[in-house]
Amino acid sequence: MTELIDGLYREGEKIADTKAPHDVPIAQRWEQRKFNANLVNPANRRKLDVIVVGSGLAGGAAAASLGEQGYNVKCFFYQDSARRAHSIAAQGGINAAKNYRNDGDSVYRLFYDTVKGGDYRAREDNVYRLAEVSAAIIDQCVAQGVPFAREYGGLLDNRSFGGVQVSRTFYARGQTGQQLLIGAYQALERQVRAGTVKEYRRHEMVELIVIDGRARGIVTRDMVTGEIATHLADAVVLCTGGYGNVFFLSTNAMGCNATAIWRAHRKGAYFANPCYTQIHPTCIPQSGDFQSKLTLMSESLRNDGRIWVPKRAEDCDKDPRDIPEEDRDYYLERIYPAFGNLVPRDIASRQAKNMCDEGRGVGPAIKERDAQGNERMMRRGVYLDFSEAIGRLGRDAVSARYGNLFEMYQRITGDDPYEVPMRIYPAVHYTMGGLWVDYDLESNIPGLYVAGEANFSDHGANRLGASALMQGLADGYFVLPDTLNDYLADMLREGKVDPDAPEIAEARKSVEDRIDRLMALRGTRSVDDFHMALGRIMWEYCGMERREEGLREAIGQIRALKEEFWRDARITGEAMELNQALEKAGRLLDFFELAELMCIDALHRRESCGGHFRAESQTPEGEALRHDDEFLYVAAWEWGGENQPPILHKEDLIYKDIELKQRSYK
């Protein structure tokens, strides 16, 4: 291990993903891996217990599929029903390389677009497999009764999404995530009925149990009774989504949190690329200080909506309908003529910020602080205008495509988007970082598997639209059911864990101690108050644009805020009852530590790539400038211990099937 670097971290051994068979070409690796994997015979499967945490697209699909195979599955989730996981909120669609449009799509092209879209920071093997299994996902969902949009001939319809030039996105109006999740949920409930899956609703995983270096169970808190319980298993699968709520304001559901993956990280699981945060360009702008979350408008709107700001700052407070065509700047179409309004999310987001920073933003001015802490009033919004589409297609056709989104926008803002252009602004949406996994989706802790947004593997530094749903279902339906066999076959020989193992009691005690410590706080500030303060630090210094001095400032502020929390927070109610303040406090403690690691990761990566934009590293045109000679690796961080610096392990990214290029959408 190296000396302390930058006063912040140490560097450890390099790591590698050793499970993908590199002796065969990329197109054969997944088949080869499945063939090489050990199998568990059907009669033995019921002897093996698998814990799945999360019931979204990855977790729900994994629990259902593993249940179908005959394993004993326990599925835990914090909502009151498995159907409410946040995958449900995804609006736009799911990609699949079906080439139903005969427009040149293929597995290789989906693979290529995803690697390029991720700014060459994703692992080739995983992305190729994702593209490979994508077509089977559509078949599976259709067979389950997912009511995808159809053409009059009865076949499936498609549309196009940002960052690509083919129509490969399958959709169900603006509720694709909901419909796919309902499909997975129904498959899951079928297994509950069959007795292979047991659901634990309103249960939160609060600790991972590791025995002899293997993941052997979890500690949970029953959110209704407060009861702490331990659950043992032969393997643990985390499908707990992303950690965007570290920013407080994001498009994530209120309950989305990092506790499950952060607890696993503290038990030894590496956390990869934590700084890769996707800022989504089409969200409804913030309207006040009381706001609890930000609402996303589907990226599919960019198919027909045209994005613009006034050419002159003095026009910004005019009614947009009174600004003539020649005074409008359709800046995406101007700068990126080949992709126009359909450039990838990181590029669309950054340009919206640039327009507002230039003083050409629209909508009400809101109070914000600049990097020096000075307050200023800024307009944070750009127009997403459908007037041209309504003229071309008619109001009814636009309504058939986007009606529910227009309704939602009107309900929230009070403005009618059929009459006045929508106002949008980027917001924190998806986190590409997550626990490090190998080709089998196994973390560096044997027996701990991580899927969907909770892992890091498939999107690199930026995620293309309609790819999150694809990855969740690919992992849950088609990857884990095959890779877990290999591990479980070993566990059949290994035998069950001793329920009296000291590690189990220790894990439980650490949870109880933490809760006791929280309940003993007698300060004056609420948990939400601290969370908002953390969010402001993160958005200011580790948000759309990061700078060396800002990130250092943020690390200091986060540490101070955490100390302040232990001095001045107070939790109302009691531990052994339904207590939402206590739930939030536990999650916030993990967010404090994760936030610091995000800043350290962002600081050490002195390049720009995808959703990580370091102001010091840009091309003369203001685009993200990578430094492949220095940073062509996954940054996998090891927990260094309480108040100890983390340890960086690098996994080199090797591109053999795709040529590394400066990304261009012009």
Partner 1 sequence: MNIKLKIWRQKNQDSEGHFEEYSMTGIEEHMSFLEVLDLLNEQLFAEGEEPVAFDSDCREGICGQCGVVINGQAHGPIRSTTCQLHMRHLAEDPSFKDGSTITIEPWRSTGFPVLKDLIVDRSALDRIVQAGGYISVNTGAAPEAHSVPVQKDKADAAFEAAACIGCGACVAACPNASAMLFTGAKISHLGLLPQGQPERLARVVNMLNQHDAEGFGGCTNIGECAAVCPKSVPLEVITRLNRDLGHALWKGQKATA
Position among 365, 378, 521, 578 found at the interface with partner 1 (CB under 8 A): 578
CA atoms within 13 A on the CB side of 663: 30
Return phi, psi of residue 664, to 5°. Answer: -140, 135
Distance separating alpha carbons of residues 463 and 452, to the nearest angstrom = 12
Nearest Cα neighbor of 133 from 484, 482, 653 is 482
Region near partner 1 per CB under 8 A, out of 24-32, 299-307, 384-392, 407-415 = 407-415
Do β-strands 382-385 and 306-310 pair in parallel, antiparallel, or remain unpaired?
antiparallel
Q: How far is the CB of 590 from partner 1 (least distance, A)?
A: 18
- Token readout for 174 is 């603006």
Position among 106, 399, 444, 526 found at the interface with partner 1 (CB under 8 A): 526
Position among 313, 371, 412, 560 found at the interface with partner 1 (CB under 8 A): 412
Does residue 513 bind partner 1 (CB under 8 A)? no
Q: Which is nearer to partner 1, 120 or 185 (CB)?
A: 185
Q: Which is nearer to partner 1, 80 or 370 (CB)?
A: 80
Does residue 171 bind partner 1 (CB under 8 A)? no
Q: Which of residues 528-567 bind partner 1 (CB under 8 A)?
A: 528-529
Q: Which is nearer to partner 1, 344 or 381 (CB)?
A: 381
Q: How far is the CB of 292 from partner 1 (least distance, A)?
A: 5
Q: Is 193 exposed, middle or buried (0-12, 13-18, 19+ CB in 10 A)?
A: exposed
Give CA torsion, residues 18, 23, 26, 31, to 10 deg.
-80
Does residue 222 bind partner 1 (CB under 8 A)? no
Under 8 Å between Cβ of 37 and 439: no
Task: Report the sign of the C-alpha dihedral through residues 316, 317, 320, 326, in that order.
Answer: negative
Distance separating alpha carbons of residues 240 and 431, to the nearest angstrom = 12
C-alpha 81, offset from chain centre = 21
Q: In sequence order, what are the residues at sequence separation of 6 or more whose Cβ sits closer than 8 angstroms to the Cβ of residue 537?
A: 554, 557, 558, 561, 595
Under 8 Å between Cβ of 497 and 232: yes
Position among 26, 57, 58, 79 found at the interface with partner 1 (CB under 8 A): 79
Position among 158, 160, 175, 617 found at the interface with partner 1 (CB under 8 A): 175
Return phi, psi of residue 44, to 5°. Answer: -85, -15
Does residue 522 bind partner 1 (CB under 8 A)? no
Q: How far is the CB of 269 from partner 1 (least distance, A)?
A: 26
Q: Which of residues 281-300 bind partner 1 (CB under 8 A)?
A: 287-288, 290-293, 295-296
Position among 215, 253, 491, 634 found at the interface with partner 1 (CB under 8 A): 253
Tell me how many helices (H) and strands (E) the chain has: 18, 22
Q: How far is the CB of 53 from partner 1 (least distance, A)?
A: 16
Q: How far is the CB of 625 from partner 1 (least distance, A)?
A: 35
For 412, the enclosing helix (H) or strand (E) is: helix 395-413
Q: Which is nearer to partner 1, 193 or 493 (CB)?
A: 193
Q: Please, which residues bridge with residue 208 across strands?
A: 218
Q: How far is the CB of 69 from partner 1 (least distance, A)?
A: 8
The structure tokens 């955490």 sit at: 562
Distance separating alpha carbons of residues 342 and 423, to the nearest angstrom = 17
The catalytic position among 345, 380, 423, 614 is 345
Position among 37, 192, 365, 420 found at the interface with partner 1 (CB under 8 A): 192
Q: Which is nearer to partner 1, 146 or 603 (CB)?
A: 146
Does residue 47 bind partner 1 (CB under 8 A)? no
Q: Which is nearer to partner 1, 91 or 114 (CB)?
A: 91
Does residue 63 bind partner 1 (CB under 8 A)? no
121 is catalytic: no
Does residue 409 bind partner 1 (CB under 8 A)? no
Q: How far is the CB of 407 from partner 1 (least distance, A)?
A: 9
Does residue 395 bind partner 1 (CB under 8 A)? no
Q: What is the DSSP letter of 442?
A: B
The string over 493-505, giving b where at least 16 C-beta atoms fall within 10 Å of a residue's C-beta and e elsewhere, is eeeebeeebebbe
Does residue 568 bind partner 1 (CB under 8 A)? no
Q: What is the DSSP letter of 309?
A: E
Position among 71, 100, 262, 539 found at the interface with partner 1 (CB under 8 A): 100
Nearest Cα neighbor of 598 from 265, 326, 306 is 265
Under 8 Å between Cβ of 661 and 26: no
Angle at 375 between CA 553 and CA 248, to 5 degrees: 60
Q: In sequence order, what are the residues at sequence separation of 6 or more whose Cβ sits closer than 8 angstroms to the Cβ of residue 628?
A: 120, 660
Distance separating alpha carbons of residues 383 and 96, to the nearest angstrom = 30
Position among 95, 99, 126, 178 found at the interface with partner 1 (CB under 8 A): 178
Does residue 618 bind partner 1 (CB under 8 A)? no
Angle at 519 between CA 514 and CA 522, to 5 degrees: 125
Region near partner 1 per CB under 8 A, out of 354-362, 380-388, 424-432, 474-482 = 474-482
What's the farthest any 2 CA atoms get from each other in the chain?
76
Does residue 619 bind partner 1 (CB under 8 A)? no
Q: Which of residues 428-457 bind partner 1 (CB under 8 A)?
A: none
- Token readout for 636 is 């996998």
Q: How far is the CB of 580 from partner 1 (least distance, A)?
A: 6
Q: Which is nearer to partner 1, 77 or 276 (CB)?
A: 77
Q: Which is nearer to partner 1, 453 or 607 (CB)?
A: 453
Q: Is 547 exposed, middle or buried (0-12, 13-18, 19+ CB in 10 A)?
A: middle
Does residue 186 bind partner 1 (CB under 8 A)? yes
Q: Which of residues 106-165 bind partner 1 (CB under 8 A)?
A: 136, 138-145, 147-156
Q: Which of residues 586-605 bind partner 1 (CB under 8 A)?
A: none
Q: How far is the CB of 50 from partner 1 (least distance, A)?
A: 15
Q: How far is the CB of 662 from partner 1 (least distance, A)?
A: 36
Nearest Cα neighbor of 61 from 176, 183, 158, 173 is 183
Does residue 420 bind partner 1 (CB under 8 A)? no
Q: Which is nearer to partner 1, 191 or 443 (CB)?
A: 191
Number of residues in the chain: 666
Q: Which is nearer to partner 1, 178 or 485 (CB)?
A: 178
Q: Which of residues 479-508 bind partner 1 (CB under 8 A)?
A: 481
Position among 29, 173, 231, 546 found at the interface with partner 1 (CB under 8 A): 173
Total residues in contact with partner 1, by rule CB under 8 A: 80
Q: Which is nearer to partner 1, 150 or 312 (CB)?
A: 150
Q: How many CB atoms lie within 10 A of CB 143?
A: 9
Catalytic residue positions, numbered: 345
